[in-house]
Structure 1
Amino acid sequence: MAAGAAEPGIAQRLRSLTEDFRDQGYVLTPEVLSSRLERLPLPVAAILGVPANAPALRLVRVFHCQDGPLAYLVNYVRADLCPGIENVDFTSSSLFDTLESVYRLRIAEGRRTFSAEPAREEVADALGLSPGFPVLYLEQVTYAADGRAVEYSEVWINSVHAKITSHLER
């Protein structure tokens, strides 16, 4: 990466992390740690508006930049809307692109919540940080054009490599 921290537009528009960094000239390489169908945790099922025992894809990835691990992502995708999604190779396919091109779910809107968090052990290990190191954390719910919640994600970003900047107008 170039000197200084990258400033993806993740606080302005609903795009994937890869799209935001690519537009700044950075290349992210995904590493898939896990991709399998699981029952949704109860809080996630409630957020997505599905029954507690509903199956979902649980996709765990680390995105690497030239300076090392940049982001640790855990995505939950409704399996009822995306049959067979557990068979997609997410080392070469983008989640948003897959939802839109393969499953014809037009991603229309989302909600992101940002905070600063100390890296818990699995996050620290994935990002090559010491446990407790400050990371940028965001939770996201993604909605299709028909209003259905499609995906919930948790993202931890190495705060050494990126910062959040918003362009504001009055």
Structure 2
Amino acid sequence: MKTIPLAEGIKLKSILTRKIQELVYEIHNNAHVVVEKGETPKQSGRTVSEIEAELAQVRKDVRTLDKLIYRANIDHTIEFKGETMPIVEAIELAKQLRAEASLYKDLGNSEKEKIYTTTGEGKVLYEVAMYDPREYREKAIQLEKDAHRLSNLINAKNYEVRIEFDDSKYF
């Protein structure tokens, strides 16, 4: 059987998902026609059953790709910061690193101390950060670098790993 890079399988799955939406839309467009009473409806384009057959095949191919992608993401590993992990775990870690970097950016953009506006009593209040914003800005920068580095490793692995799938119907 023909093999393709995992990266191509991931891209193809996205293309096929869009193709499913297009076929469903085509079914809706071809399912009904408007005619005058007594006239025989004329088929414009493909029949609903022809579209359904193609839709069924594309859906089957998406399921097959899903299975192959999930299996590859579990079976193949990436080395990152001295730790070996399956691709699926590396993908999740990259998401978590980006989320943590975003949080730290928000904290890093805060002032150490600023006037807290209130209404009434004439007291001057301050909002004081219970951490060093500069330190969190630096942490955010490092976490973003780590996330980019890990994403690059994942992308490289996605081109290295091959899955058994015949994509000739689509490319």
Query: Which has the bigger relative contact order, CA under 8 A and spacing at least 6?
Result: 2
Larger Rg: 2
Both structures adopt the same fold (TM-score exceeding 0.5)? no
TM-score, normalised on structure 1? 0.25
Higher helix share: 2
TM-score (norm 2): 0.25
